[in-house]
Amino acid sequence: MLCKHCNNIIKTSDGICKNCTRPIRSGKKNLPKYTKIGVIALIFGVCVFFVVMYLTDRVNFDFISNIFSSSTNDTIDSDLPTNTETSNGDQQQNSSVDNGPPLIDEELRRSALSELNTVVTDYLEEFSIHFAFVSNMGYLFNDTDQVFITTQHLVELGLLPQPFLQEDFLILYLRPSDLNVFDEVDLPNENTLTVFVAHETITGIGLYSTHNYTEIFRENLNSVIESYIPYGGSVVRPLSQSVIYQNIVSSIISQNNGILIDVRFMSADGNFAFATVSNVGSSHLLRHYVFEIVDNEPLMLLSGLENQRHPTQVINQAAPNFNPSLLPNFNLTRTNLVQAANFAYLQNIMIENTLIPSGVAPNFIASTNQYTYMVFESYGSFLAAFSSQWVVQPVSGWQHAEDILSDITLPPLYILRQE
């Protein structure tokens, strides 16, 4: 060939022109040998990959699109296998256990779990001053508004985007120590109720919390949730002659340095008991106690609930399986009890109506501005109500008075003495 610079005859293999010493350039660009081999191997590998994926029925182009969309889209786009309805109503899995879901879907799912857990945890921290959050049969529940905290609820509040509704995420409220008894679970051994966001996996249930991600077998999670369901049987109102009533009174007097008490409210089932009391002569100062019943013996579990902002939340933390039906139908921290300054006026009314003789004082009296309950040792019980004036009527006892007051909105049942 001819050199392009000096037209001297040259050989390509020489590399340079011997006449003008300039490099020889041919019109053809040759790749190094090893580069050719690499390109051929890459093309061959791609072909083999798609052939194998096709033959094993695992080509998933959503997998490929998710790789690009996951980094730029904050919404959930997960193709994890879920139970779906067939045309005849039977349930079937979208994917077999052998094949399993694409890895990118599980990564997206865990990212969504983490985001949801953060939203719920922040929600509890922000609104715990206003609402009492409890575990209702294992699920997070707003006891103040009587509503379960679900993804639907959080979407309606504007705290989650709509795509979260496409996933079967459950928001649980459990104690890590109750889950940690199982070998497959790896959590701190803590007794404080904690938010867990749960979803179904191929092997069981995935749980995401502020601690970490762990999995638990379905039957084990069910056993924990079942332990949070109140199974104490029917709720009763023990009378003063009953053993449990007397044992609870003895326990409180012992804790109260021997000071005698009036029982204002008491309830019990097979697992727990609740009592509201006041010291004799101080009916306007109430105290609340929770007892756990072990081998028919009431053991004091909680006291001082009258000083708590959300006493139901405190009870639930200590005993998630406590039956809320044991609680009285009045607010434990806000009552409008007053010292019975109006007794002299009521006494005159009762004397005028020959309900009591003069010079007789009640051995128990409790009042609000509108209602007063009185018990006399030899003359029975009376309920007084004020509308435009005070009206006093005899009642057969605290149960009769409670029936009358129960017709009132927010009845002041705390003025009664249960005996």
274 and 359 together in one domain: no
Best CA proximity match to 135, nearest among 272, 275, 307, 317: 317
CATH number at residue 281: 3.10.450
124 and 208 together in one domain: yes
Residue 10 lies in a domain: no
Counted domains in the chain: 4
294 and 391 together in one domain: no
pLDDT of 317 reads 95
* Under 8 Å between Cβ of 15 and 24: yes
197 and 266 together in one domain: no
Q: Of 289, 308, 327, which residue is a domain's last?
A: 308
Residue appearing with tokens 């009533």: 245
132 and 50 together in one domain: no
User: How far is 347 from 61, CA to CA, in rounded Å?
Assistant: 87
Residue 328 lies in a domain: no
- H-run or E-run covering 173: strand 170-174
247 and 223 together in one domain: no
* Under 8 Å between Cβ of 270 and 293: yes
213 and 125 together in one domain: yes
* Under 8 Å between Cβ of 285 and 279: yes
Residue 315 lies in a domain: no
Residue 272 lies in a domain: yes
Would you tell me how many other CB atoms lie within 10 Å of the CB of residue 253?
14
Best CA proximity match to 358, nearest among 342, 341, 344: 344
Q: Of 308, 331, 357, which residue is a domain's last?
A: 308
* Under 8 Å between Cβ of 362 and 346: no
Q: Exposed, middle or buried by CB within 10 Å (0-12, 13-18, 19+), for 256? A: middle
User: How far is 372 from 395, CA to CA, in rounded Å?
Assistant: 12
Q: Of 227, 261, 283, which residue is a domain's last?
A: 227
Residue 255 lies in a domain: yes
223 and 262 together in one domain: no
221 and 257 together in one domain: no
Q: What is the end-to-end Cα distance of the chain in Å, rounded?
A: 122
Q: HSE, CB side, 13 Å, CA atoms: give it for residue 342.
A: 21
279 and 165 together in one domain: no
pLDDT of 167 reads 77
Supply the DSSP symbol for 18: T
Residue 257 lies in a domain: yes
pLDDT of 15 reads 58
User: How far is 281 from 260, CA to CA, in rounded Å?
Assistant: 9
270 and 298 together in one domain: yes
Residue 51 makes CB contacts below 8 A (sequence gap 6+) with none
DSSP conformation letters of 253-266: HHHTTT--EEEEEE
Residue 35 makes CB contacts below 8 A (sequence gap 6+) with none
215 and 270 together in one domain: no
Range of the domain at 288: 243-308
Please give the radius of gyration of the chain, using alpha carbons only, rounded to the nearest integer.
38
User: How far is 113 from 151, CA to CA, in rounded Å?
Assistant: 11
* Under 8 Å between Cβ of 103 and 112: no
Would you tell me how many other CB atoms lie within 10 Å of the CB of residue 387?
7
Q: What are phi and psi of 315, to 5 degrees?
A: -60, -45
pLDDT of 341 reads 63
* Per-residue pLDDT in tens (0 to 9) along the chain, 419 residues: 546 556 555 555 555 665 665 555 544 444 444 445 555 666 666 555 554 454 444 333 333 233 223 333 332 233 322 323 333 333 333 333 333 333 346 777 778 888 899 999 999 999 988 999 999 999 999 999 999 999 999 999 999 888 888 778 899 999 999 999 999 998 888 999 999 999 888 889 999 898 888 899 999 999 999 999 998 899 999 999 999 999 999 999 999 999 999 999 999 999 999 999 999 999 999 999 999 999 989 999 999 999 888 999 999 999 999 999 999 988 888 888 887 667 888 999 999 999 999 989 999 999 998 999 999 999 999 999 998 899 999 999 999 999 999 988 889 999 999 99
Q: Which amino acid is at 353?
A: N
Residue 19 lies in a domain: no
Residue 325 lies in a domain: no
Residue 376 makes CB contacts below 8 A (sequence gap 6+) with 356, 360, 361, 362, 363, 382
